[in-house]
Structure 1
Amino acid sequence: MKKILIIVSILFISCEIQEAKNGQKYLVKQVSDIQANLIFDKTKVFPNNSQISIAIVENRLVTFYGVIRKNDTIYSFDNKNSVFEVGSITKVFTSTLLANAVVENKLKLEDNINDYLNFSWKDDTKITFQSLANHTSGLPKKPSNLGSGLGNPDSRYRYYDEEKLKKYLTEDLRLTHKPGEKSKYSNLGVGVLGYTLCSVYNTDYEDLVQDKIFETYQMKSSTSNKEKTASFLVKGLDASGNEVPNLDLSVLVGAGGILSTVEDLSKFVIAHFDNSNKELQLTLQKTFSINKGVDRGLSWRILRNSDAQTWYFHNGATPGYKSFIVMNTKTQNGIVILSNVSGYSKNQNNIDELGFELMKTLE
């Protein structure tokens, strides 16, 4: 068996300055030895060609660090501008679009989305915008008419269009629980939220998220259209390290269709530290209590730990990628991890564990 090594050298750019919205400037520095060792310990089990891209935000100062595994050796690698699928972190952006619509007085969180669509739901079911964003709507994880995927279970989303979604909501809908009763994770729910917001603004999801979020926060490499970032896109891998096709969620794109970089997502994290960004602050407000230590905002999970610190967290998993984001708006710290580690890998939880452990080094 080959010995696994890690090359911990990284370009140290002490004079590089990034500028975010409202003129906010922040330096780019390097990771500590403790952080580098954590990264190695949690990533050494992944197959060859695996990449992990990390942004560490400490009091608005950003550290970028990346690794790639080649020939059973792990090397440091500059991939802060490499593009990955972010999976369900997309839900945070869809909820931010919702919050933006509230700030613009286009709707209220308590409004029924049915009033913004041109068709009636089965049994005259009423669902609010907020219940979709905090997973209390009662909609199941996926629609019952999703199909078999023609041999590839993940390809079924590609063929799930507006017509099929309308058919499900008008003819086949069956809730898992009474709306508002409990929080149960639903890809369908946030997909429907994105679809409805496109109807509210009379545009498609890509144009909406570009206009309301990516352009606002200078996230120039973020998109829901993979063709725009083809030259920078890291290939997704399955659990064995083989390349897999990118996920296409079609009409449910708001549930998991965004691609981004850790550089862009670090800008998004830092934007949450500015109280003047009203739509971002709205997404962080508690809307539902899951248990003593965990609440729901709008998509964000709100974690309250024993040190009286509040962390806002979300992750994502697709067939070829695994992602993670956590932040503390009080200490102005955060961690972003993007990777081409399969969300179906038995070791995919290492990415979440790495994110939380790195966050602890800051807190």
Structure 2
Amino acid sequence: MVSYIMVTFLIAISLNVSNMPGKNMYILILGLLVLTKIDAQNKQTDQITKEQSELIKEQLEAFPEKAQLAVAIIDNGSVNYYGVLRKQDEVQVVVNRDSVFEIGSITKVFTATLLADFVVNGKVDLDDTINGYLGFTLKDDVQITFKQLATHTSGLPRLPKSLSSPTLDLTNPYKTFDRERLKEDLSVHLKMSSTPGTKSEYSNLGVGLLGFVLGEMEGASYGELVTGKIFDRFQMTHTTTNRSTVKDKLVKGLNDDGEEVSQWDLAILMGAGGVVSTTADLAKFALAQFDEANASLALTRKPHYKATESFSTGLAWGIVKQDADAVWYWHNGGTGGYSASMIIDVENKNGVIVLSNISALGKLTKKVMDLSPELMKTLE
């Protein structure tokens, strides 16, 4: 279908063509060609296959009313979008590529990218310790490097002690975890899970601490740092740590029963999971990964810790070697009202991004996480 602006342009030409000087006619024809190209590009943005659309719709059928999936599928560098909404007991197709969702731990990839940028620009070395930037001493004078934080080999527990209680209120658990609580947990109550550098154990505390330290080094908040160095650079206009700037586009988070739940405020651990974004913006970041000249992004994808023959850890990225020798760079994310997943295959310029407003604390989150690899297989 020709766009409204195209129709308007054609009418203008038909009404005035007889009186146009040659130069103006040339300009209008050139403009028409540009609009034709734009219109063609717009039409291509939703051309996913029947198999892909059925996979997406099938997952949503088990979800409650108002649940959404926003999907971006990158096929050989070309991005296609698809959105579905559960409404009135039906699965409806919607345009939601610019709808905003909490992305949880996918934020960690941005935090690792900040670190890589610091390394590439000579501000720090991956094997430098963070201790001199903290302003306080870790309990037992434990020494931890930047690389260990970014690869989950720091030996830090998954969460600080004050957030590890089984009775913790998960409505908005990180909200009051400020600088003073971080200092107390690390300098007084810290109980290491393992010796730094010896074992890979996922740690929200570790990557949250990394984001905090990088901000301290620059004299900026994590939000200011990641916006200036990443979101602005890649024109990710609806990606932010400040939800109030995108509240008109923010999709409400739900639990498995379809009840609206609170958004999560990550406070001082923002770098572990505090970003909100869209499939359109994350697709821009994914496409940037295909640029071999971007040294910072390439550094995040380098294997820095080998866990098994088929799985390694980059800077935040999980690196999964597939049976067909393809390599997937993978990260999931989740909060109290959202689940998200992102996979890219740099060599083949493929990728899948899935955002949802379904809680990561329930059982339905597995359907979101399982959808990404299934969609990736359709691109092989």
SS of the counterpart of 1:311? strand
> Take 2:167 and 2:324, find their aligned partners in 1: how far apart are those partners?
49
Q: Is residue 18–residue 28 contact of structure 1 (8 Å, CA) maintained in 2? A: no
Letter in 1 for 2:354: I
User: Offset at 1:117?
Assistant: 2.0
Which of 123, 127, 130 is the matching residue for 2:147?
Answer: 130
Q: Is residue 328–residue 345 contact of structure 2 (8 Å, CA) maintained in 1? A: yes
User: Offset at 1:169?
Assistant: 1.1
Letter in 2 for 1:349: K
> Take 1:259 and 1:34, find their aligned partners in 2: how far apart are those partners?
29
Letter in 2 for 1:261: T
User: Offset at 1:239?
Assistant: 1.4
User: Offset at 1:156?
Assistant: 3.1
TM-score (norm 1): 0.92
User: Offset at 1:215?
Assistant: 0.6
What is the number of residues matched between the two proteins?
A: 347
Structure 1 residues 139, 150: closer, same or farther in 2, change over 3 A? closer
Per-residue CA deviations over 1:170-228 (Å, capped at 9, x if unaligned) read 11111101111111000000000000000111100111011110011010100011111
Q: Which residue of 2 aligns with 1:8?
A: none
Q: Which residue of 2 aligns with 1:352?
A: 369
Q: Which residue of 2 aligns with 1:51?
A: 68
User: Offset at 1:92?
Assistant: 0.4
> Take 1:43 and 1:156, find their aligned partners in 2: how far apart are those partners?
28
Long gaps (5+) in structure 1:
1-10, 20-25
Which of 314, 317, 325 is the matching residue for 1:308?
Answer: 325
> Take 1:220 and 1:18, find their aligned partners in 2: how far apart are those partners?
23
Structure 1 residues 192-231: aligned runs within 5 Å:
192-231=209-248
TM-score (norm 2): 0.88
SS of the counterpart of 1:145? helix
> Take 2:379 and 2:38, find their aligned partners in 1: how far apart are those partners?
21
Per-residue CA deviations over 1:60-117 (Å, capped at 9, x if unaligned) read 1110000000111000000000000000000000000110111111101100000222
Long gaps (5+) in structure 2:
4-34
User: Offset at 1:119?
Assistant: 1.4
Q: Which residue of 2 aligns with 1:282?
A: 299
The answer to whether 1:245 aligns with 2:273 is no
User: Offset at 1:331?
Assistant: 0.2
> Take 1:180 and 1:149, find their aligned partners in 2: how far apart are those partners?
28
Per-residue CA deviations over 1:285-311 (Å, capped at 9, x if unaligned) read 000011111100000000001101100
Q: Is residue 265–residue 336 contact of structure 1 (8 Å, CA) maintained in 2? A: yes
> Take 1:242 and 1:279, find their aligned partners in 2: how far apart are those partners?
41
SS of the counterpart of 1:156? coil
The answer to whether 1:333 aligns with 2:350 is yes
Instruction: Tell me which moved more, 236-245 or 142-151.
Output: 142-151
The answer to whether 1:82 aligns with 2:102 is no
> Take 1:115 and 1:27, find their aligned partners in 2: how far apart are those partners?
51
Report the RMSD for the aligned CA atoms in angstroms: 2.1
Letter in 1 for 2:91: I
Q: Which residue of 2 aligns with 1:185?
A: 202
Name the one with the larger helix percent. 2
Q: Which residue of 2 aligns with 1:256?
A: 273
Letter in 2 for 1:97: L
> Take 2:76 and 2:127, find their aligned partners in 1: how far apart are those partners?
35
User: Offset at 1:153?
Assistant: 2.6
**What is the percentage of aligned positions where both structures have the same residue?**
42
Name the one with the larger strand percent. 1
Instruction: Tell me which moved more, 28-37 or 258-267.
Output: 28-37
> Take 1:122 and 1:166, find their aligned partners in 2: how far apart are those partners?
10
Which of 57, 70, 86 is the matching residue for 1:69?
Answer: 86
SS of the counterpart of 1:232? coil
Greater gyration radius: 2
Q: Is residue 77–residue 350 contact of structure 2 (8 Å, CA) maintained in 1? A: yes
Structure 1 residues 332, 229: closer, same or farther in 2, change over 3 A? same
The answer to whether 1:268 aligns with 2:285 is yes
SS of the counterpart of 2:193? coil
Q: Is residue 303–residue 312 contact of structure 1 (8 Å, CA) maintained in 2? A: yes
Q: Is residue 236–residue 340 contact of structure 1 (8 Å, CA) maintained in 2? A: yes
